[in-house]
Amino acid sequence: EHNLPNQWFRRQDVGTSKVLALREIVRDFSGVDIVAVPEKYEGQPLRGIVIAAVDHMDTRRMIWEAVRERIAVKRLLEGRMGGEGFFIFAPNPCDPTDIERYERELFPQSEAAELPCTARAVIYTTLAIGAEMAQLVKRVATIGTPQGGRRIPFVTMRDFASLETQYGM
């Protein structure tokens, strides 16, 4: 319940898994039924566009190991946020340069910064990373179509405190 101010969930969602609550919110807003799998990721095969929206570095590594060099995976979109900033990494898991760059960004959970609960996320940071992820999904999904052709940055960084946004190709 203390996370409601910095997440896009409703009071009625308290006590419901985030995945199931999100399914209901998407259906309420759009009429679209998404597939929600309310279980912990444990290395199952992945394909398409993989979005890693997890809190734990060790889970990020597990997801990376599952997508690395898999032709069935178009792109990994992996977001990290805290307070007034975020990073989104978008490596192509079959590109040797992207593999090398992304693996430099992975580190053990024991080395991750511990932020106080109030500094972990702010609602506008949450909404901004969601919007940025959505446009990246569109870019990846339209590769090879008349709507495609836009570059996909390897990393997107946004800092609301400094009003700075950077894209790294």
- The residues facing 49 across adjacent strands are 75
Phi/psi-derived region of residue 158, left when phi > 0, alpha when psi is between -120 and 50, beta in every other case: beta
In this structure, which topology does domain 40-168 adopt according to CATH? Rossmann fold (3.40.50)
Report helix, strand or coil for 164. strand
What is the Cα–Cα distance from 86 to 99, expressed in whole angstroms?
21
The pLDDT assigned to 105 comes to: 93
- How far is the C-alpha of 57 from the C-alpha of 28, rounded, in Å? 32
Edge-to-edge strands of the sheet including 155-159?
48-52, 73-82, 85-89, 155-159, 164-168
Confidence of residue 104 (pLDDT cuts 50, 70, 90): very high
Global confidence as pTM: 0.83
Domain-by-domain residue ranges, the chain? 40-168
Please write the tens of the pLDDT for every residue from 19-64: 899 889 889 988 888 878 888 878 788 999 999 988 889 999 999 9
Distance, CA of 36 to CA of 68 (rounded, Å):
24
